[in-house]
Every structure is written in C-alpha cells, then in structure tokens.
Amino acid sequence: MKLLGAVGLLLLVAWGSGCGPSGTRTGQGAIIQPGERPDPSGVEADTWMAAEKFEQELKTSGRVMEDPALNRYVHGILCNLVPDYCSDIRVYIVQNPDFNATMAPNGALSLWTGMLLRLDNEAELAVVLGHETTHYLHRHTLQWWTDARAKLDALVFVQLAAVMGGAAAGMGRVGSAAGQVIGYLVQGRILAFSRDNERDADNTGLDMVARAGYDPREAAEIWKALITERDAGDKSRPSIFFATHPTEEDRIAYLESRAQRLVDGREGLTVGRAPYQEAIESWRGVWLRDELQRRDFKVTQVLLRRLIEQGSNLDELYFFRGELYRLRGEDGDIDEAIASYRKALDTGNSLAETHRSLGLALARRGDRAGARHSYENYLRLRPDAGDRKMIEFYISELK
C-alpha cells in the first residue's frame, strides 16, 4: 500500500464532497433552510449523525489550524455570502499542502491550506465558499451521503468516500486513500462526478458571489492557475481532480460567460486582493514550507512564479525559490539558489534564515569566506537560533 506523502497528489480537488456519482439528482427536495435539522426518524438523520462523527474526527485530527484571526476572516467571507446560514456552517482550516476543500452534509466545511496558499484574493475565496455552500444548500451532499449509505453492498464506491474517510481518520491518511483512488481511476472503475451537480454548484455559487458584491470573474482565474500547475506536473500520475471534473476548457468558458452576464456593467465589485493577502500573510511562509516538502519541484516552481508576478512579500517568495533550487540540487541549481537568496536580501526585508541558507549554498559552491559571513549574519539576526551551536561550529571550521 502506498505510504502517505509518497503519493502526494499534484492537485486533489474535491470541490464539494457532494460531487457525487451520476446517479445523484439535482434539486431534489427543497433547499436546506437556516437552522434546519433533519427529522430524527428519517433516513437523513442517520446521514447527519455520520457527518457529526466525521466533524468530531476532523476537530481532533490535530491538523486543524486554530488561529482566531484567520478563522474569523474566512468565516466572515462566508457570512457575507450567506448571512442566513452564517451559524449553520462551520469552517475548518486544515493544514495540508494539497489543493482541496470538502463539505459534509451537516455543514462542516474544510478548506485545505494548499488551497488558501494558491488563492489570490477575497473574490476567489468567495467563489470556493459559494461552490461548497451550494452543495450543502441544494442537498447534493446530503443526497450523496444518503445514497452511498443505502448502497452499502454496492460494488463501486465514490472516491470521495475514501477521501472523506481518509480525512476523517486523521488528515494524514488522505494521501494514501487518494493514491488508492487514483489506482481505481486508472482501472476505469470510478464514476465521474455528476456534471449537473457541479454545474449547479458553479452557477448558484457564482450568483451568490455576485449578489454579495464580489467579482465573479475571478472564478475562471482559479482554474487557469490550477491548469498551469497541472501541466507542469508529473504527466505519468493522473490527477484525481482533472479525471473527475468537467473538462477545464468547458468550465472556464462557461464560468467566464456566466460571470460576464452577472457583472453586466456593474462597477465596484470587490476583488479584495489586499485584505486576503494580509489575512494569510503571517501563515504563507509556513504553507510554502509545507508546499516545498511535497518535493514536487516543477509544480512549486510554477506556483512561485505566479506568486512572484503578483508581488506580495517578495522577500519570502525569493527565499523559497532559493530553497527550491538548493533542495533540488540539479546542475546549475546552486547558482540559481544563491541568486534568489541575494534577491531576497536586496528587498531589505528578509528573514534571518535567508542568511543561513545562503551560507549553506555558498559553502557548497566553495566560497568559504562568503559562507562564513552569511552564517555570522544569521546568528546576529537570530540570537536565539535553535541550531546556534552547529552554526558556530561551521564558522570555526571555515576560518
């Protein structure tokens, strides 16, 4: 069985765990009302209970980010979108570098940090939240979970059960569950997502986004960025996301046209780049470090290129670009690393760790004086460095 992480997907997107098999009906039953709970004797009640247990597992998985400011910000966007359901939907931010978001039938929504890292602005976040919320409101999720439970003896299971189950069992499992599912896909056993449900979630989600005053044209941008990353990645490993969602060209096209109609000459729609970047600023470094740990260097390169183009906190981005090259260590990479670290330092703003990494790179290049100088800078800027004694040892060896 594949070990976790070893199978890290390029992009695992299960936008809407309610993206179920083609047997799921759209618009069946009324839209979920604010504060609605299922009839305790009905079939839906069991599903709700299962979802409550899933949420419990999620809460205790140790991978949920607790930072109050970040949680407040994200939940705030949700409440802008659907003020009536503000208290019905709980948002969990899960520390996992893959791009994903899931919605459980009882209103437990999870956003993975790999996704938050990749979104650019508030409008894009609103698009994701709107899409997920629609799956919840239109009972796609509830229907799908209920159907799945009714089909307990069925031969084929929707891969999202595995993903959800993996998520519920302690997020770290998702890698291996997803990896197994890819195996499934390759054997052609997986049912495609219901195009109807996906289309419904996109459309209603966009309407929600526009109504709340966000710019719906940002939806297509999310997809374009994902595709660029996907194209850079490992072709031999199929992406679960792209194998199960409607083709990207179609999706981008209809998202763009629907967005245009919704915008219809309106002015002053919020994109909200600055508040979004500010909200994630203190965590982006951690998420970039997690991203690098995936060791999918081509994909990370594409991501960094895009982020650098957008220009927020360049010192951090140049630092991580340097780290990418240093860790990859192919021909010519060490020089690229040195150049990136120097660019980071040129901003005048960079972390002490940039000096340490520059020192490591220069040492590898044979520049002993340069390396020593960098290590000394690091220790001066980071007096409480955990590896102080080790760096002092290097300095003494380089004299």
Partner 1 sequence: MMPRLPRAQIFNTHRLRLWKAPGKFSLVLLTVLLAAGCVQTGSLLQTEGLSVIPRKTRVLLLPTDIELYEVTAAGLLEPKAEWTNLAKTNVEEALRAELLARDDILSVYREPADKQIEHLHRQLFKLHSAVGQAIVRHKVLANQSGQSFELPTKKGRFDWSLGSATNSMRQDDADYGLFVYIRDSYTSAGRAAVIFTAALLQNFLPGGRLSAFASLVDLKTGNIVWFNLLNVPSGDLRTAEAARETMSGLLKDLPL
Partner 2 sequence: MKLRNGAGLFLSVVILCGCAAYKLVGPERHEITGVYFVEPQIAWSARQYGEKMEVWTVDGLQLEAVFFLKGLKDGEPLLYVKERGGSKHPPEFKSYMNANEVLELFVASLTYAGRGQVQVKDLRPAPFGKAPGYRFEYSYLTVDGLEMEGFALGAVLNAKLFLIMYEGSSQYYFEKYRADVEKLIASISLL
Residues contributing to the site for partner 1 (CB under 8 A)? 1, 46, 49-50, 53-54, 57, 60, 145, 148-149, 152, 155-157, 161-162, 164-166, 168-169, 173, 177, 180-181, 183-184, 187, 189
162 binds, among partner 2, partner 1, none (CB under 5 to 8 A by kind): partner 1
177 binds, among partner 2, partner 1, none (CB under 5 to 8 A by kind): partner 1
Compute the least distance from the CB of residue 155 to partner 1, in Å.
4
Who contacts 53 (Cβ-Cβ below 8 Å, separation ≥6)? 168
Compute the residue count for the chain. Answer: 399
**Is 7 one of the binding residues for partner 2 (CB under 8 A)?**
yes
Q: 50 or 395: whose CB is closer to partner 1?
A: 50
Draw the binding track, 242-281, toward partner 2 (x: CB under 8 A; -: no contact): ----------------------------------------
Q: 123 or 181: whose CB is closer to partner 1?
A: 181
What's the rounded Cα separation, in Å, for the pair 162 and 185?
Answer: 13
Contacting range for partner 2; rule: CB under 8 A; set: 86-94, 108-116, 205-213, 386-394: 386-394
Compute the least distance from the CB of residue 18 to partner 1, in Å.
14
Residue with tokens 């409440």: 79
Residue (of 379, 343, 340, 387) closest to 361 by Cα position: 340
Residue (of 320, 327, 377) closest to 352 by Cα position: 377
Other CB atoms within 10 Å distance of the CB of residue 150: 12
Compute the least distance from the CB of residue 165 to partner 1, in Å.
4
**Is 356 one of the binding residues for partner 2 (CB under 8 A)?**
yes
Compute the least distance from the CB of residue 399 to partner 2, in Å.
15
386 binds, among partner 1, partner 2, none (CB under 5 to 8 A by kind): partner 2
Residue with tokens 């600055």: 274
Handedness of CA 226, 228, 234, 236 (dihedral sign): positive
Q: 181 or 391: whose CB is closer to partner 1?
A: 181
Residue with tokens 């069985």: 1
Site size for partner 2, by CB under 8 A? Answer: 36
SS (H, E, C) 23-81: CCCCCCCCCCCCCCCCCCCCHHHHHHHHHHHHHHHHHCCCCECCCHHHHHHHHHHHHHH
Interface of this chain with partner 2, residues 309 to 328, rule: CB under 8 A: 327
Compute the least distance from the CB of residue 185 to partner 1, in Å.
11
**Is 165 one of the binding residues for partner 2 (CB under 8 A)?**
no
Interface of this chain with partner 2, residues 282 to 311, rule: CB under 8 A: 293, 295-296
Q: 169 forms bridges with which residues in the sheet?
A: none
**Is 382 one of the binding residues for partner 2 (CB under 8 A)?**
no
Query: Binding residue for partner 2 (CB under 8 A) from 173, 306, 342, 382?
Result: 173
Q: 195 or 295: whose CB is closer to partner 2?
A: 295
Task: Transcribe 161-180 into DSSP letters.
Answer: HHHHHHHHTTGGGHHHHHHH
User: Alpha carbon of 227 to those of 233, 269, 306, 383: distances in Å?
Assistant: 10, 26, 12, 43
What phi and psi, each to the nearest 5 degrees, are found at residue 253? -60, -50
Could you tell me whether strands 108-112 and 101-103 are parallel, antiparallel, or unpaired per DSSP bridges? antiparallel
Query: Binding residue for partner 2 (CB under 8 A) from 199, 237, 306, 373?
Result: 237
What's the rounded Cα separation, in Å, for the pair 45 and 146?
Answer: 9
> Which residues contribute to the site for partner 2 (CB under 8 A)?
1-8, 61-63, 170-173, 175-176, 234, 236-237, 293, 295-296, 327, 329, 356, 360, 363-364, 386-387, 389-391, 393-394
